[in-house]
């Protein structure tokens, strides 16, 4: 047997056939054991005690009757009033049950209660004559009336319990079946006993009619019992079966009582009364003994499923079908008995037999017509089903218990590319992909072990072999079928491909086809769990392309996209097969380097650092795109896994290291250190406090004098913002401008600085200190629409600041800034009398272009040139050249960061006109600034003053260019500090 065949043949659920199920468990002929399981529920123990008590009472009565009860009086009492009490108990029991039950069987139990009441009345009258009056019971009497009224309610009650036919033909067949049984019994009983009663022998007509009425009613009752037994409703079968058994036992005793053999010798209290007694108690027990009320009212779906021992439907159907023929056989036996005994066939027997035969013929005719109609309907449904199966686009396959395909629909040719006849007889395992067989076996085994009522179908998806040898993705709906399986299969290859494509698109970057952030995060999570959970060598690299935005601005986004594609390809080719390269978005990439299990953390860090540096060099190589050599650099941050770290924290650490690499000069590799996180927390806290400081007015404005290097006079003051926190700490711009990355906060700070500087300069002018004030603004701030030209003009007008008193220092402009817009903006400011200074001259590639295009009045040397002008001959030459350019253009030159006298001497010798720094004064508050303005000048070190050059608002003196011979020897810088400088605490 093949493996799928072994699975299909293995049935773990108890029971017979695969399709027997549990639905027909309760339809056995006698409604015995299985019915108790169905109705008994949790009350099996109580039902058994009731049955035991019933058996003991009936057995005791039978024993007493067999022994004669010890005396004639007791026998008469028990034979009359004992039966009356038992029948009364049955009547009360059925009445109470019917009163508390709302099902459609309630009328039947009320009729059974009435029938038992009639029996109780008849026995009571019988006892009145025999026990109380001590005289024979007259015939006929009131007892006979009660006994004759016993059968009609019972017959009608059985009709109520019967399963009603759905058609007129069904009702006719039910009537014919009843007559077939009743006529046959009448024929047989007439031949055996009833014919003798037709000879009156001096008896009255009433007495003879009474003698015939008892057996005829019993025959009718027996006929209904037999005819309806196989048509009973699917209610509480045990209760109904018990009631039928009670009535059958009563009818049997009646038949024995009316027979000539017992009628003449019957006395009350004999053993025959035990049958009537047991019948009455069994009817009283029927609705309660097995919890019939719960069985009738409880819905079927809440009953616990139970396995069936056998299917009783075929047996019940067979007996029901044989009922007419058995009835005809009984009728025939009655006639044959008369013939064998040599008796003349009675006219009653002939008439009854003819009607039985006629009923049988009519019934068979009806059955024949029904069979023809059913056969026609079945043929139509079969043709309809065959058309559906053959015309369906799904492939329907039936696999037998051995795992072989017994049927395959013609759709297999179109779906699988294989003829259906070629698949019939093949094993199901042979067309399933080897990699899927184990999973299919487990699913089939689980499905077959599950109860059919709980899981009627299952769905299996696997790969089937096509006629061309390819493997198709097939989805099958599986059902049970006679120990095997029915598979309704369809080709879902395109759907699987589409799902795979959608999954790929959801997890990969559409431009570079590298894993995106979601998939990369999942890969990192997998690397930190499982067998790699404790490997500290796993590292995450965050990579940012320096200068990519400039490529987009200069060459366009299409070239930028091509650059990203080439960079992604280089990154993918540079990592190992087990590692992961991903694009996180924009120009940010990442790489997951899996650990190799080494315990030497230092060696592992060195190895990963070497890999990262190799990636940096590879990504920094020129890219040939559309005939252009495009260059970018790469800043890489590296973070190593630690025990218990989460994927989010590991990726955050790598991101922090990458930003540290960019802040450290770009084009470098930086390893994560815990201090980076502390810096981020500190910057975040500082940014939050900065927003509150802008709102609460914690900023102060300081001014640093700009000194004429020829005369020492104060030519201007540079406005600088300081933040005095609630803790008394005075933060310098270097401290708080790093965290003021929020454009709204930066704009707000710029507006405040400009307004405060203009307001304080106007106030100083009114006090007699008309000194120009300089305010540093970026090119982006000048072009910001939130600060239009009219706002600056209104500010100057409102405070009455004269023309030339405001000098705007233009920080080194961003290459992305439009030079044309900036030129128009500066020209408009100059028309308002605002002077323009180019800050940071000497650093950045945009300085020369700005000098060529923009209307600049003052050149401010970069602090980096000033710091090394004394020690470095190279910087000395560069600075001297830049100052010569300023002199030739007729511009004022200002050196920022002049902190020692030697720098003053060197700069003045090179032709620099003005200086600003600690060599003269630090930033001053308003009180100290006014004292400095009253003094008016600062002492200058060194030689006599040089001749003054022409030049605008700031006086400028011309000097000859510096020569190498004028460079002083390097000396140690003394710590010089003005006595009016505002101390700035360290932060």
Report pLDDT digits (tens) over 86-115.
989 989 988 888 887 766 678 888 888 898
Provide the 8-state DSSP code for 870: T
Query: Is 0.85 topped by the overall pTM?
Result: no
Backbone angles phi, psi at 211, to 5 degrees: -65, -35
Structure confidence by residue, pLDDT tens digits, 855-864: 889 988 888 8
Query: For residues 254 and 246, what is the distance between their CA atoms, to the nearest angstrom?
Result: 12
Sheet of 471-481, strands arranged across = 405-408, 395-399, 484-491, 471-481, 457-465
Burial of 74 (0-12, 13-18, 19+ CB in 10 A): middle
In this prediction, residue 973 has a pLDDT band, given cuts at 50, 70 and 90, of very low
Q: Distance between CA atoms of 944 and 938, rounded to whole angstroms?
A: 14
Distance CA 428, CA 440 (A): 11
Q: Of 193-197, 515-519, 564-568, which gets the smallest average pLDDT?
A: 193-197
Dist CA 224 CA 183 (whole Å): 12
Give the C-alpha separation, 798 to 268, whole Å: 135
Query: Across residues 948-963, what is the average pLDDT?
Result: 35
Tell me whether residue 295 is exposed, middle or buried, using C-beta atoms within 10 angstroms of its C-beta: 0 to 12, 13 to 18, 19 or more: buried
Torsion of CA 174, 179, 185, 191, to 10 degrees: -170
Long-range contacts of 89-92 (CB under 8 A, 24+ apart): 89/280, 89/281, 89/284, 90/116, 90/119, 90/246, 90/280, 90/281, 90/283, 90/284, 91/116, 91/117, 91/120, 92/284
CB 297 within 8 A of CB 103: yes
Average model confidence (pLDDT) across the chain: 76
Span between the terminal Cα atoms of the chain, in Å: 84
Gyration radius (Cα) of the chain, Å: 57
The answer to whether 588 and 543 are in contact (CB under 8 A) is yes
What is the rounded distance in angstroms from the CA atom of residue 222 to the CA atom of residue 228? 10
Q: How far apart are CA 426 and CA 436, in angstroms?
A: 18
∠ at Cα 463 (462, 465), nearest 5°? 145
pLDDT band at 41 (very low <50, low <70, confident <90, very high): very low
* Partners of 718 in the β-ladder: 704, 774
Task: Say yes or no to pLDDT of 300 above 50.
Answer: no
Reported as a pLDDT band with limits 50, 70 and 90, residue 376 is confident
Task: Write out the two tokens for 16.
Answer: 């017979």
Q: In terms of pLDDT, which residue wins out, 252 or 654?
A: 654
Task: Please answer whether residues 404 and 426 qualify as being in contact, where contact means their C-beta atoms are separated by less than 8 angstroms.
Answer: yes
**Which has the higher per-residue pLDDT, 458 or 272?**
458
The pLDDT, as a whole number, for residue 325 is 65
| Cis ω before 140 (30° cut-off from 0) | yes
Q: Look at residue 890 and tell me whether its pLDDT is greater than 60.
A: yes
CA angle 562–565–568, rounded 5-degree value: 150
Residue 394 DSSP SS3: coil
Q: Please, which residues have CB within 8 angstroms of residue 702's CB and are 6 or more apart in sequence?
A: 719, 720, 721, 722, 923, 924, 925, 982
pLDDT of residue 979: 32
Q: Report the C-alpha gap between 601 and 613 in whole angstroms.
A: 18
Q: How many CB atoms lie within 10 A of CB 34?
A: 23
pLDDT at position 160 is 73
| DSSP letters for 132-157 | IS-SPPPSS-HHHHHHHTTHHHHHHH
Among the listed residues 156, 279, 169, the one whose alpha carbon sits nearest the alpha carbon of residue 228:
156
Question: What is the per-residue pLDDT across 424-481, written as a single tens digit (0 to 9) for each?
Answer: 988 988 899 999 999 999 999 999 899 988 899 999 999 998 888 889 999 999 999 8
Between CA 704 and CA 774 the distance in angstroms is 10
582 confidence band (pLDDT: 50, 70, 90): very high
Identify the weakest region by mean pLDDT among 106-120, 593-607, 757-771, 939-953: 939-953
> Going by C-beta distance under 8 Å and a sequence separation of 6 or more, which residues neighbour residue 942?
901, 904, 905, 908
Q: Which residue has the higher pLDDT, 123 or 744?
A: 123
Q: How far apart are CA 750 and CA 776, in angstroms?
A: 9
Name the token pair of 875.
Answer: 């910087």
| Crossing angle of the two packed helices 168-189 and 205-229, in degrees rounded to 10 | 130
Angle subtended by helix axes 926-935 and 743-766, to nearest 10: 40
Greater pLDDT, 562 or 788: 562
Q: Which of 545, 105, 98, 564 is nearest to 288 (CA)?
A: 98
DSSP annotation of 417 reads: S
How many Å apart are CA 577 and CA 949, to the nearest integer?
70
The residue-averaged pLDDT of 806-822 equals 75
Burial class (CB in 10 A: 0-12, 13-18, 19+), 384: exposed
Long-range contacts of 161-165 (CB under 8 A, 24+ apart): 161/105, 161/108, 161/228, 161/232, 161/233, 161/240, 161/243, 162/228, 162/231, 162/232, 162/233, 163/231, 163/232, 163/233, 163/234
Q: What are phi and psi of 768, to 5 degrees?
A: 100, 5
Cα distance between residue 859 and residue 99, in whole Å: 112
Higher pLDDT, 263 or 402: 402
pLDDT of residue 653: 93
Provide φ and ψ at 479, rounded to 5°. -125, 155
**Core vs surface per residue 518-535: b (16+ CB within 10 A) or e:** ebbbebbeebbeeeeeeb
Q: What is the mean pLDDT of residues 225-246?
A: 64
733 is written with which tokens?
A: 């711009």
Average pLDDT, integer, range 30-41: 39
- The half-sphere exposure of 348 on its side-chain side, counting CA atoms within 13 A, is 18
Where is mean pLDDT largest: 598-612, 663-677, 708-722?
708-722
Under the banding of pLDDT at 50, 70 and 90, the label for residue 410 is confident
Supply the pLDDT for residue 537. 80
Q: Looking at the predicted structure, is the pLDDT value of residue 3 above 50?
A: no
305 vs 812, residue with greater confidence: 812
Q: Which two tokens stand for residue 555?
A: 């060459």
């Amino acid at each position: 047997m093949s493996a799928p065949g072994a699975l299909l043949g293995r049935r773990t659920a108890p029971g017979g056939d695969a399709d027997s199920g549990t639905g027909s468990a309760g339809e056995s002929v006698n409604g015995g054991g299985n019915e108790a399981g169905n109705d008994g529920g949790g009350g099996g123990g109580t039902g058994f005690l009731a049955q035991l008590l019933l058996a003991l009472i009936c057995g005791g009565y039978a024993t007493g009757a067999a022994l004669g009860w010890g005396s004639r009086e007791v026998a008469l009492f028990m034979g009359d009033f004992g039966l009356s009490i038992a029948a009364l108990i049955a009547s009360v029991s059925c009445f109470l049950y019917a009163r508390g039950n709302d099902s459609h069987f309630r009328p039947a139990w009320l009729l059974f209660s009435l029938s038992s009441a009639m029996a109780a009345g008849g026995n009571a009258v019988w006892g009145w004559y025999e026990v109380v009056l001590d005289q024979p019971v007259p015939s006929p009497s009131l007892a006979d009336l009660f006994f004759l009224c016993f059968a009609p309610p019972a017959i009608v009650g059985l009709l109520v319990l019967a399963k009603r036919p759905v058609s007129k033909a069904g009702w006719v067949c039910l009537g014919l079946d009843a007559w077939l049984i009743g006529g046959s019994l009448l024929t047989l009983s007439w031949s055996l006993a009833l014919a003798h009663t037709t000879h009156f022998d001096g008896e009255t007509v009433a007495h003879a009619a009474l003698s015939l009425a008892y057996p005829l009613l019993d025959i009718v009752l027996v006929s209904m019992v037999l005819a309806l037994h196989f048509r009973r409703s699917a209610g509480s079968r045990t209760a109904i079966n018990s009631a039928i058994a009670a009535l059958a036992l009563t009818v049997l005793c009646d038949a024995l009582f009316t027979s000539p053999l017992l009628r003449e010798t019957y006395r009350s209290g004999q053993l025959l009364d035990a049958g009537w007694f047991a019948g009455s108690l069994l009817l009283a027990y029927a609705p309660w003994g097995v919890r019939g009320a719960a069985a009738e009212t409880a819905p079927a779906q809440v009953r616990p499923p139970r396995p069936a021992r056998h299917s009783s439907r075929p047996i019940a159907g067979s007996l029901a079908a044989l009922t007419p023929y058995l009835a005809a056989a009984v009728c025939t036996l009655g006639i044959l008995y008369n013939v064998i005994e040599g008796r003349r066939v009675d006219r009653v027997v002939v008439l009854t037999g003819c009607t039985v035969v006629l009923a049988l013929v009519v019934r068979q005719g009806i059955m024949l017509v029904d069979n023809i109609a059913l056969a026609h309907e079945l043929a139509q449904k079969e043709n309809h089903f065959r058309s559906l199966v053959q015309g369906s686009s799904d492939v329907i396959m039936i696999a037998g218990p051995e795992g072989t395909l017994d049927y395959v629909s013609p759709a297999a040719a179109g779906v699988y590319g294989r003829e259906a006849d070629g698949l019939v007889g093949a094993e199901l395992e042979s067309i399933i992909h080897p990699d899927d067989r184990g999973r299919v076996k487990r699913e089939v085994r689980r499905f077959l072990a599950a109860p059919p009522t709980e899981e009627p179908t299952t769905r299996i998806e696997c790969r089937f072999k096509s006629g061309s040898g390819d493997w198709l993705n097939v989805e099958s709906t599986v059902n049970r079928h006679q120990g095997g399986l029915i598979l309704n299969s369809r080709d879902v290859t395109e759907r699987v491909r589409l799902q795979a494509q959608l999954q790929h698109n959801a997890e990969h970057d559409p431009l570079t086809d590298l894993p995106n952030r979601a998939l990369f995060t999942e890969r990192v999570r997998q690397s930190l769990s499982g067998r790699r959970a404790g490997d500290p060598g796993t590292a995450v690299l965050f990579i940012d392309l320096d200068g990519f935005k400039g490529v987009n601005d200069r060459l366009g986004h299409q070239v930028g996209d091509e650059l990203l594609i080439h960079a992604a390809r280089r990154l993918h080719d540079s990592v190992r097969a087990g590692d992961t390269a991903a694009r996180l978005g924009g120009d940010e990439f990442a790489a997951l380097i899996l650990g190799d299990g080494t315990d030497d953390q230092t060696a592992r860090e060195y190895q990963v650092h070497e890999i990262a540096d190799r990636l940096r060099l590879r990504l920094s190589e020129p890219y040939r795109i559309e005939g252009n050599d495009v260059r970018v650099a790469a800043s890489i941050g590296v973070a190593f896994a630690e025990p218990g770290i989460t994927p989010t924290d590991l990726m955050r650490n790598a991101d922090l290291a990458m930003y540290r690499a960019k802040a450290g000069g770009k084009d470098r590799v930086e390893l994560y250190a815990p201090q980076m996180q502390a810096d981020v927390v500190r910057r975040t806290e500082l940014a939050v406090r900065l927003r509150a400081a802008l709102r609460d007015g914690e900023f102060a404005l300081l001014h640093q004098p700009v000194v004429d290097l020829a005369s020492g006079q104060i030519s201007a003051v540079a406005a600088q913002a300081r933040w005095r926190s609630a803790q008394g700490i005075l933060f310098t711009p270097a401290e708080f401008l790093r965290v003021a990355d929020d454009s709204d906060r930066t704009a707000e700070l710029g507006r405040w600085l400009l307004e405060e500087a203009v307001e304080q300069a106007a106030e100083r002018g009114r006090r007699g200190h008309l000194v120009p004030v300089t305010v540093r603004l970026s090119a982006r701030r000048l072009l910001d629409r939130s600060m239009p030209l009219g706002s600056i003009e209104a500010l100057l007008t409102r405070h009455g600041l004269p023309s030339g008193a405001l000098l705007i220092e233009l920080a080194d402009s961003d290459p992305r800034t439009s030079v044309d817009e900036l030129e128009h903006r500066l020209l408009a400011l100059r028309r308002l009398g605002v002077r323009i200074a180019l800050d940071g001259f000497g650093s950045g590639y945009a300085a020369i272009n700005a000098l060529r295009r923009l209307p600049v009045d003052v050149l401010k040397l970069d602090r980096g040139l000033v710091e090394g002008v004394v020690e470095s001959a190279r910087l000395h030459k560069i600075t001297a050249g830049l100052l010569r350019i300023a002199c030739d253009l007729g511009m004022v030159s200002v050196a920022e960061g002049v902190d020692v006298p030697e720098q003053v001497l060197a700069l003045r010798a090179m032709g620099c006109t003005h200086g600003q720094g600690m060599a003269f004064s630090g930033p001053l508050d308003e009180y100290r600034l006014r004292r400095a303005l009253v003094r008016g000048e600062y002492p200058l070190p060194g030689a006599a003053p040089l001749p003054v050059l022409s030049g605008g608002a700031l006086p400028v003196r011309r000097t000859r260019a510096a020569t190498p011979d004028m460079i002083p020897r390097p000396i140690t810088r003394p710590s010089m500090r003005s006595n009016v400088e505002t101390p700035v605490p360290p932060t």
